Amino acid sequence: MTTAPAQAGWRFRQPSVIPGFGLTLGFSLAYLTLIILIPLSGLIWRSAALGWADFWALATDPRTVRALQISFGTAFIAAAVNVLFGTLVAWVLVRYRFPGRRVVDAMVDLPFALPTAVAGIALTTLYAPTGWLGKLLMPLGIKVAYTPLGIVVALVFIGLPFVVRTVQPIMEEIDKEVEEAAATLGASRFQIITRVLLPGLAPAIITGFSLAFARGVGEYGSVIFIAGNLPYKSEIAPLLIVIRLEEYNYPAATAIAAIMLALSFAMLLVINLVQTWSRKRYG
């Protein structure tokens, strides 16, 4: 082994001073295979067994298409709302010292911890036409519970911590001097925020968005309570999968799941590429 046979094969990278590259990489790959790859390839294998024509028929079924639209659409809107208000919450937590700040900070994590069904039931009670908030919104002609709007509300609740927790640490790192420099150069408060602070936060905000979005697409527990689950109107794709399973219609269930998988993967890939690009630029 003194002739360094490793030279002959291909290598990922030069080994660093810290040993164990081979071991850790091997472990990571085995772990990812076991936890993620095998279940997912099982899914693809099952749906591939359908045959192309059958798969296409199931995929273009109007009820499926509509459910997918609702799932991805509401998750997108909810993630966008969370970007706006999550960034604001992070800003308040980072920049201001006020009594009860720690309590608010801890509260942000609640949607992580709370069983999603509990969240769904609580939100439904609040927003139902007879609930506290629903009663107030009813005269304005706004119906939240049992509509796609209700789904958005549930997903906003579920996704908030993702944005806050990704943006917060980056915000804490912002050097106050950078803002001061911008001010001495004549930039107004508004210009400092839009031209200096937000562009610096962009990579973190994109990450927060993609996490909230991914979570929203897959969310089931909280949504089914508030959505009303009317086919073609407020029925989400994960629920449709469960319905198909209960009908013992496994091919349809796997087909929908495979489509969701493909779409999610494609979108996360795009977001990741955007992110790599912005990281490279801003160092």
Binding positions for another protein, rule: CB under 8 A: 175, 177-178, 180-188, 191, 195-196, 199-200, 202, 281-283
Q: Which is nearer to another protein, 73 or 199 (CB)?
A: 199
Min. distance of Cβ 192 from another protein in angstroms?
9
Alpha carbon distance 122, 125 (integer Å): 5
Minimal distance, residue 193 CB to another protein, in Å? 12
Residues in contact with 67: Cβ distance below 8 Å, sequence separation at least 6, in sequence order: 231, 235, 236, 237, 239, 240, 256
Sign of the Cα torsion 259, 260, 261, 267 reads: positive
**Residue 43 DSSP code:** H
> C-beta of 278: minimal distance to another protein in Å?
8
The dihedral built from the CA positions of residue 53, 65, 75 and 203, taken in this order, carries a sign that is positive
Nearer Cβ to another protein (177/246): 177
Residue 133, number of CB atoms within 10 A of its CB: 16
* Separation CA 48–CA 46 (nearest Å): 5
Smallest separation (angstroms) from another protein to the CB of 182: 7
Decide whether 197 or 268 has the Cβ nearer to another protein: 197
By the 10 Å C-beta count (0-12 exposed, 13-18 middle, 19+ buried), 209 is classed as: buried
The residue among 12 and 96 lying less far from another protein, judged by its C-beta, is 96
Can you tell me which residue has the tokens 């990281």? 279
Encode 90-109: b = buried (16+ Cβ within 10 Å), e = exposed.
Answer: bbebbeeeeeeeeeebeebe
> At its nearest, how many Å lie between another protein and the CB of residue 151?
35
Closest by CA to 154, choosing from 205, 119, 128, is: 119
**Beta carbon nearer to another protein, 119 or 170:** 170
CB contact set of 133 (below 8 Å; sequence gap of 6+): 126, 127, 144
Residue number, 29 or 178, with CB nearest to another protein: 178
Report, in Å, the least distance between residue 199 CB and another protein: 4
| Among 270, 215, 230, CA closest to 72 | 215
Nearer to another protein, 187 or 268 (CB): 187
